[in-house]
Every structure is written in C-alpha cells, then in structure tokens.
C-alpha cells in the first residue's frame, strides 16, 4: 500500500492549478442517464472516484470515454440495457446513489445497492427515498438493494426536506426534470455543486429556477437533449491548497480560485491573520505574520464553513497562537484525524462533536495513518509544518479526491514524495 513522505522544509512559492470539482463531476456524470443524446464534461478531475462512476455508468449500458488525459468525459446513454446498479461497484463510493433519480425518471425503474464510501457517518438514504416517493415512485429495500419503480411516470410535487441534504437535492432535482408538472424542493441544499448541476441540466433543456437558494422549482419537460458543460472549480481542493502557504509560510497563487466558492472559509482565514488577494488568474494567499491566531470553527451547510475543510483547518490550528474550538455539525465520526495529529505533537481534546485544539510552537514528524479522504490531506499539510519526516500511510483515500497532490505541492517547493507499496 502506497505512502507519502513529507519533510518540513520552509516556505512555499509559486502557483498551483485547481482541478474541477470532484463532487460536482460525480453528480454531473449520472445526468447523462436522463437523455439519449451525448453529454460532454470538460475540466473533469482525474481521480479514482471518477473512474468508479465511469464503471458504474458503463455497467448500465452508457458509453463513457475519457479524453484529453481524462480532463474531458464524453458520455452517451442512447442504449441503456441494464437498470441494476450492482453492489460491487456502488459500495466503493457514496455518490453512486445518484443514478437512482435519473434512471427512475427516464426508464421508470431502477435497482440500486445501498452505497459505501468513507467511514465518516451513516449518511442514510431516507431523504432521497422520501423525495422520490413524493414524485410517485414506489421504493422498497430488499437484500441491501433499493427496488424502485414508477410505472406511470413521475409527477411533480412539493417536497420539504428535513435536512438540506446535498445528495437528496441532487437526486430529486435530476428526477424532477422529466416529471410531469411542477416540482418544488424546499430546504434545498445551496452548495455550488447544486448550481453547477442545474446549469448543466438547463443546457440539456431542463426548466429550473432557484438553485443556489433554499427553494428550487422545476417544471418538468418531455425530454432532455445533449450538451457540453465545464465542471466548476473544486472549492475543497482550493481551500486545502490555500492552507499550504499559511501552514509553512510563503505565498502561493491558486489558479482558477474564486472567492465566492470559499466565502465562509476565507473569512475564518482572514480572522486568523491570512491575506487573500484576488488576481486575474485566481487567488493569492499568504499569512500576515509569523504565526496565525487561533479561531473557532463550526461546520455548516453551504454557505457556512464546509465540513470537508474541517480536518485541514484543524491541522492549521495545531500550530496557531491560542486555543481553538472546532465543532462538527454535519457528520459524526469526523475527528479520526485528531489522534494522528496528536502523534505529531498536537494538543487536541475531543469530546463528542467538539475538538479543542491548543496550539503548539511546532509539530514533529511521525508515522501516521489516514482514515478518510480529508484526513489524509490534513496529515500531509501538518507534515509541511513539522520538524523532520512525516510518513502518511494508507493514502489510497487521497486518490479519491486530489489529483497529482505530490506534483502540485512539490511544484511550489514542498519536499514530498510518494513511496510505492510492496
């Protein structure tokens, strides 16, 4: 199993290109199931999760080709010959459940295994199921599979989500594009990936209003056509690399970065003593002093502080001046990186969904183990700020969400290398 070796060696300088958003691309790819005509995605990230979604779509009969070194995904679903999303593929990735809504809408039936993914909480399918049932679907769970059918087609409805779930909003939104009549999703998720999906669906002929707000209205159409769409910048990769020069000094420009994607995160960095400058090419980041100030963080749905940047922010707070409190309100079990940071000399006390971090002058390199995607990159960031060598084990998680992390960081001066497992 591969590992990543990081040696703390001072300030970073240069530019890091930010990829297209993993979470957006994994949502956009199933949208091909809604139409017989081709859907082409540009600015696609080159990640293992994208390959998994490709395998899933191909298993359903879709044609998927990765072009231009994987940055273009050319898809066509003109000849779907299977409506069963098998456990062997779905278990690898949570986003696999996003084929449910499109298949129901276009084929009138779908059998989808309950999904897998990172071990950061249960994240049940209840909201997806209730929303699709409100549209007229009949769904029951048998042997670990959701068996769904809509023999009379889907029909518009008013759906009140109990929680602003991103996945449920996406599944319902896609299904509603081909439902008869008007669908209203109340308490809809407001993440940029939702708006990116809506933009793509509109290019395909969907009638959608209100994305980016908590109320989305969809007027169903008879069919959708093909389109070409550019995947939005990955705000989580952007936020992650914004922290690199903050943790170990220097100044880095994030190419393709946009402030509107990281508003709440950028506000916390400003409070901590970080300078963020908008440039023609993206965002330029540096810390104002020798050491950042401790700040408190509470994760919230967008536009609040992202749960997917909590682990990385904790790594920063480990060497901040003062005491910070990080409260995780989105997922349970999302402080599994804390014991690993403690191995590097961090002072962290976890009580339930709250972590109290007392900043230390310097971390020390140590062997650590990644427990999930965001935890793995937080340990790499910590290694950049540590004395000596940090060996991050089990980095297969990393390949699910960050493309070319070693070359991107070494390109700005980090001493980092990937060690192949035996």
Give me the active site residues, please: 118
Are the C-beta atoms of 383 and 390 separated by less than 8 Å? yes
Residues tagged in the binding site annotation: 22-23, 94, 123-127, 308, 330
Residues tagged in the binding site annotation for phosphoenolpyruvate: 22-23
C-alpha distances (whole Å) from 189 to each of 96, 212, 340, 380 are: 19, 8, 32, 30
Residues tagged in the binding site annotation for UDP-N-acetyl-alpha-D-glucosamine: 94, 123-127, 308, 330
For the beta carbon of residue 84, count every other beta carbon within 10 angstroms. 15
């Amino acid at each position: 199993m591969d590992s990543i070796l990081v040696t703390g060696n001072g300030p970073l300088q240069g530019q890091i290109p930010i990829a297209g958003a993993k979470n957006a691309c994994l949502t956009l790819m199933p949208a091909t199931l809604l139409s017989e005509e081709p859907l082409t995605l540009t600015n696609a990230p080159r990640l293992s999760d994208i390959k998994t979604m490709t395998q899933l779509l191909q298993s359903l009969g879709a044609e998927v080709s990765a072009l231009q070194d994987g940055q273009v995904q050319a898809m066509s679903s003109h000849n779907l010959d299977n409506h069963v999303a098998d456990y062997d593929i779905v278990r690898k990735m949570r986003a696999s459940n996003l084929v449910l809504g499109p298949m129901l809408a276009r084929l009138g039936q779908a059998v989808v295994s309950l999904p897998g993914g990172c071990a950061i909480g249960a994240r049940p399918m209840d909201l997806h199921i209730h929303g699709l049932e409100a549209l007229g679907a009949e769904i029951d769970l048998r042997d670990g599979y959701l068996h769904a059918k809509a023999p009379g087609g889907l029909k518009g409805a008013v759906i009140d989500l109990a929680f602003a779930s991103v996945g449920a909003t996406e599944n319902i939104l896609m299904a509603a594009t081909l439902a008869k009549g008007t669908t209203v999703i109340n308490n809809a998720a407001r993440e940029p990936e939702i708006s990116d999906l809506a933009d793509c669906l509109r290019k395909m002929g969907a009638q959608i209003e209100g994305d980016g707000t908590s109320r989305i209205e969809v007027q169903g159409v008879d069919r959708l056509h093909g389109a070409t769409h550019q995947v939005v910048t990955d705000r989580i990769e952007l936020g992650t690399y914004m922290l690199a020069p903050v943790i170990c000094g220097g100044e880095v420009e994030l190419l393709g970065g946009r402030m509107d994607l990281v508003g709440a995160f950028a506000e916390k960095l400003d409070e901590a003593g970080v300078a963020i400058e908008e440039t023609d090419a993206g965002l330029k980041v540096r810390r104002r002093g020798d050491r950042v100030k401790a700040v408190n963080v509470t994760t919230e749905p967008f536009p609040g502080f992202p749960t997917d940047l909590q682990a990385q922010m904790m790594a920063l707070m480990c060497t901040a001046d003062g005491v910070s409190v990080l409260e995780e309100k989105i997922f349970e079990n999302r402080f599994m990186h804390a014991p690993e940071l403690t191995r590097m000399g961090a002072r962290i006390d976890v009580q339930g969904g709250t972590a109290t971090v007392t900043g230390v002058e310097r971390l020390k390199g140590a062997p650590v183990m990644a427990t999930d995607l965001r935890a793995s990159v937080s340990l790499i960031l910590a290694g950049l700020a540590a004395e000596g060598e940090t060996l991050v084990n089990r980095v297969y998680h990393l390949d699910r969400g960050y493309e070319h992390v070693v070359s991107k960081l070494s390109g700005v001066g980090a001493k980092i290398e990937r060690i192949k497992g035996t």
